[in-house]
C-alpha cells in the first residue's frame, strides 16, 4: 500500500492527498509517479490521481496537480 502526496502549486509545500493505493510494483520508499513509471504505462489507479482535487492546508484552496513528477508515492508504514 502507498500513501499519495502531491506538491501544492498554491503554497509550494507537499500535502497528503488522503488516498491509499495498492500496487504490485511501486517504489521502495518514496518516488514521484513520473520517475516510478518513466517509459511505462501508468496503472489505472495511478493515472486517475490527476483527476483528484486536494485542499491546500495553508490556503484552504482546492487544486489539482497534473504533473506526474509532482505526485509522490510513499510506501505506507
Q: DSSP characters for the chain?
A: -EEEEEE-TTTS-EEEEEEEE--SS--SSEEEHHHHTTTSPPPHHHHGGGG--EE-TTT--EE----GGGEEEEE--
* High-pLDDT (> 70) share of the chain, %: 100
pLDDT at 58 over 90: yes
| Interval 22-47: pLDDT, tens | 988 888 889 999 999 999 999 998 99
Amino acid at each position: 500500500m502507498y500513501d499519495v502526496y502531491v506538491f501544492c502549486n498554491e503554497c509550494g509545500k507537499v500535502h497528503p492527498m488522503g488516498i491509499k493505493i495498492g500496487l504490485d510494483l511501486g517504489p521502495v520508499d518514496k518516488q514521484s509517479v513520473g520517475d516510478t513509471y518513466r517509459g511505462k504505462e501508468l496503472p489505472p489507479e495511478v493515472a486517475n490521481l490527476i483527476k483528484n482535487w486536494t485542499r491546500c492546508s495553508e490556503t484552504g484552496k482546492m487544486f489539482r496537480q497534473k504533473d506526474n513528477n509532482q505526485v509522490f508515492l510513499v510506501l505506507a508504514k
